[in-house]
Homo-oligomer: A and B are copies of this chain.
Amino acid sequence: MNVARPDEVRRFNRASLLRTLHVSGPATRATLATELGLNRSTIKMLVDGLAGDGVVQERVPRVPQGAGRPSLLVLPQPQSVVVLAVDVQVEHAGIALVGLGGQILGRNSWNLRGRQRDPDEVVTHVAESAALLAQDLDLHPVAAGISVPGVVRRTDGLVHSAANLGWDEVPFGERMGTVLGVPVVVGNDAEFGALAEYVRGVGRGASDAVFVSADVGVGGGIIAQGALLRGSAGYLGEIGHMTVHPTGRTCHCGNVGCWETEVGEPALRRALGLAASGPRGAIAAELRELHRDSDPVARLGEYVDWLILGLVNVVNILGPELVVLGDLFAILPDAVVQRAREEVQRRSMVARAHGGLRIEKSSLGPDLKLLGAAEAAFEDVLSTV
């Protein structure tokens, strides 16, 4: 902070107010004044400006609070600021238009098989699908966030590699930006999962949290001191490729015994006695059966051991207060999660020290990455609305 000019201060305060409404929902002017540490006349000026631009509406609260003139309730208008969220997965792609406040206003999705996984095909399909959706709903996204299961450079959206899609050095952000004509941010799927959990899920209010998820691959996103961690040169870390089993299987990355090879989808299929490939639904069905098993931990055998070992490492290295389990991890039987809680608490010096480590399943379901991609897009948008 250097000496700030009045218009800079006003823009900063406007963005802060908008972010508060976006994240926490409708609030009275009085609440906003308290939360933002601004006086009521400043809040009035900012809200009047936003109302004039159609970004918020005001109304008298239905339930009166205390005596005196009621403080007006400020409601963000979802359709006033809309972003496009894109979730590219290995078997499937989805898009959504997400409004101010985080509400999904419309969506579409399709399967990705064979040629459809080609990056150019994905770019074209996303653009066409987004244009149709926007036209149907008469909405105009001002930015886009795109989740990709791969090693992504956040600065420009270069996908260095997305092994499970067969992508290699794809300038995906640039191509998407060209066809969409709006600012685009591309990120790793686990990173966006972490962001979604932090803004809208079980990670709300946690200042140090780690999100780990198993899909075909295994990834993670790290919230440290209240911000999403990014590695150097825009590359996030790859938690799935820490070595947990030096005498284990060879991973597609060239190493041996990566966490991903021990707890990713193929490993879970092995543990469940399922065929190496087949519909994802079979895994979910088998896990539902397992919920009723007398000892699901024993049934999954060493899968649980490797899951726990990786979690112990993550907790020891990063010392978070919360670990969120996503995707396939989130549909594991509760007994497995409970065992992980106990073992990580027992085996991690850091968890023993602070005593309050929580391990929770993701609460956002299949929309997780769409919501995270939307938040990534909103980050830049809210300071310029």
Cβ-closest chain B residue relative to A252:
B349
The contact of A350 among B4, B237, B313, by CB within 8 Å, is B237
In the assembled complex, A241 has its CB within 8 A of some CB on chain B: yes
Whether A236 is near chain B, meaning CB under 8 Å from some CB there, is yes
Against B, the Cβ 8 Å flags (1 = close, 0 = not) of A313-334 are 1111111111000000000000
Chain B residues positioned under 8 Å from A235 (CB to CB): 319, 350, 353-354
Chain B residues within an 8 Å CB radius of A236: 319, 350
**Which residues on B sit within 8 Å (CB–CB) of A348?**
241
Is A224 positioned at the interface, with any CB of B under 8 Å from its CB? yes
- Asked whether A237 and B316 contact (CB < 8 A) given A232-B207, A349-B151, the answer is yes
CA distance A331 to B245 in the complex (A): 29
Given A225-B229, A231-B350; A237-B317 close (CB under 8 Å): yes
Which of chain B's residues have a CB closer than 8 A to the CB of A232?
206-208, 319-322, 354, 356
The verdict on A227 contacting chain B, using a C-beta distance below 8 Å, is yes
Q: Give A248's nearest chain B residue, CB to CB.
A: B246
B318-A231 in contact (CB<8A): yes
A47 CB–B CB distance under 8 Å: no
| Closest chain B CB from A149 CB (angstroms) | 13
Q: A residues 210-242 with Cβ under 8 Å of B?
A: 220, 224-225, 227, 229-239, 241-242
Q: How many A residues face the partner with a CB closer than 8 A?
A: 65
Listed stretches A35-43, A112-120, A130-138, A171-179; interface member: A35-43
Q: Is A73 an interface residue (CB 8 A)?
A: no
Q: Determine whether A376 belongs to the interface, using a CB cutoff of 8 Å to chain B.
A: no
Contacts of A352 in B (CB 8 A): 160
Q: Are A309 and B243 in contact (CB under 8 A)?
A: yes
Q: Is there contact, CB below 8 Å, between A231 and B309? A: no
From known contacts A232-B321, A244-B246, A245-B246, infer whether A316 and B151 are also in contact, taking CB-CB under 8 Å. Answer: no
Judged by a CB distance under 8 angstroms, whether A254 is at the interface is yes
Instruction: Mark A333-369 against chain B: 1 for CB-CB distance below 8 A, else 0.
Output: 0000000000000111110111110000000000000
A14 close to B (CB within 8 Å): no
Provided the pairs A229-B225, A230-B225, A233-B354 are in contact, do residues A316 and B244 lie with their beta carbons within 8 angstroms?
A: no
Rounded to whole Å, the gap between the CB of A315 and the closest CB of chain B is 8
Q: Does residue A182 face the partner (Cβ distance < 8 Å to B)?
A: no
A346 to chain B, nearest CB (A): 8
| Alpha-carbon separation in the docked complex, A224 to B348 (Å) | 22
Select A356's contact among B233, B238, B247, B312, beta carbons within 8 Å.
B233
Question: Would you call A237 and B3 a contact (CB within 8 A)?
Answer: no
Pair B151/A350 contact, Cβ less than 8 Å: yes
A-B complex: 8 closest residue pairs judged by Cβ atoms = A231-B319, A232-B321, A233-B354, A208-B232, A160-B353, A237-B319, A242-B313, A237-B317
Q: CB within 8 Å of B: which residues of A?
A: 1-4, 9, 12-13, 36-38, 42, 151, 153, 160-161, 206-208, 220, 224-225, 227, 229-239, 241-247, 253-255, 309, 312-322, 346-350, 352-356
Q: Could you pull out 15 A-B pairs where Cβ atoms are within 8 angstroms?
A: A151-B353, A160-B353, A225-B229, A229-B318, A231-B321, A232-B321, A232-B354, A233-B321, A233-B355, A238-B350, A241-B348, A243-B312, A246-B309, A253-B349, A314-B317
